[in-house]
């Protein structure tokens, strides 16, 4: 098998028996199901193009997870900082929203890296924040009902 019948994406190598023999070996492609835009390219360029597409997608996903992770750190740290500076209270809506968002972002990032203890800790953090949010909304509703009476 020709070395051009394989494509490497990241650390994985795939065999590509479905690709036709192209002008690289001075044969014409016949009865192929290859995409029309790729049929004119020599195999090496086709493989480089596919490798670039998959590598770019992988890099974008990695960048997205990095952004989500740092957002989680920012939300949790900002909530704690504002609480410590007595700018917000622990039973405030903004503090609990920051906790829920931060815990959720950090749980997603930990799940992406398969760090299950960290996933559990951040889901618990987020769950506590959700419980506090529900309590805040219930108290607000009770106050509205009392004000109407």
- Tens digit of each residue's pLDDT (9 = 90 or more) over 50-67: 777 888 888 888 999 999
Q: In this predicted structure, what is the pLDDT of residue 86?
A: 94
Q: In this predicted structure, what is the pLDDT of residue 105?
A: 96
Q: In this predicted structure, what is the pLDDT of residue 8?
A: 61
Residue keyed to tokens 């529900």: 134
Q: Give, in order, the Cα–Cα distances in Å from 148 to each of 142, 143, 144, 145.
A: 10, 9, 6, 5
pTM (global) more than 0.75: no
Regions of the chain where pLDDT drops below 50: 1, 18-40
Give me 81's structure tokens.
Answer: 């900082």
Give the total residue count for the chain.
149
Q: In this predicted structure, what is the pLDDT of residue 47?
A: 75
């Amino acid at each position: 098998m020709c070395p051009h019948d394989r494509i490497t994406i990241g650390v994985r190598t795939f065999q590509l028996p479905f690709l036709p023999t192209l002008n690289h070996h001075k044969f014409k492609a016949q009865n192929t199901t290859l995409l029309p835009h790729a049929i004119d390219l020599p195999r090496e360029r086709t493989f480089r193009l596919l490798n670039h597409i998959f590598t770019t997608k992988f890099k974008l996903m990695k960048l997205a997870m990095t952004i989500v992770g740092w957002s989680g750190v920012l939300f949790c740290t900002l909530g704690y900082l504002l609480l410590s500076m007595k700018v917000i209270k622990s039973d405030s809506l903004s503090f609990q929203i920051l906790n829920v968002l931060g815990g959720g972002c950090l749980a997603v990032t930990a799940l992406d890296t398969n760090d299950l203890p960290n996933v559990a800790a951040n889901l618990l953090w987020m769950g506590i924040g959700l419980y506090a949010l529900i309590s805040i909304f219930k108290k607000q509703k009770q106050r509205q009902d009392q004000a109407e009476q």
